[in-house]
Amino acid sequence: MALSRICPSEIIRKELYFYEIKEIILYHQKHINLTQLAYQSAWKFLIGMLRKDGSLEEVIVNELHFVREAKRELEELSKSVDWKKKGKERRKANQVATIGRWIDLLKYYFDFCIL
């Protein structure tokens, strides 16, 4: 939650966050052990911080494969939502909100990614 609340205009030296966030994302890609909120927040923080120094495309596209990860997460989420079932409205609303967060994150990424 803390990562998602840091404003991208904050000036934070890259060496204070980059390697740790990168390791968190790579670890999740291998073990899938973070919550959706934690994973999305890590991506949003990383994209927001890297867009300022011009290394966004290199790291996100080549090393961490953001679009592939977002696609996988969205596919997994969309399979788990039963759009027709009336019961469990709160769980369904949470899943739909999570899908919306991923779509917002994709928009954020494409707004700042030149490639």
Give the pLDDT confidence of 41-89 residue by residue, as tens digits. Answer: 888 888 887 777 666 666 776 677 888 888 888 888 877 776 666 666 6
92 or 109: whose pLDDT is higher? 109
For 32-88, the DSSP string reads --S-HHHHHHHHHHHHHHHTTTT-HIIIIIIII-HHHHHHHHHHHHHHH--SS--S-
Cα dihedral 33/24/28/25 (nearest 10): 140
- What are the boundaries of each domain within the chain? 2-112
* 35, pLDDT greater than 80: yes
Query: Who's near 87: CB < 8 A, 6+ residues apart?
Result: none
Question: How far lies 63's CA from each of 6, 16, 53, 60, 71, in Å?
Answer: 23, 19, 17, 6, 16
What is the pLDDT at residue 72?
85
* Cα three-residue angle 59-21-42, rounded to 5 degrees: 95
Which amino acid, one-letter code, is at 71? K
* Residue predicted with more confidence, 8 or 39: 39
Q: How confident is the model at residue 92 (pLDDT cuts 50, 70, 90)?
A: low
Tokens 């039963």, residue? Answer: 82
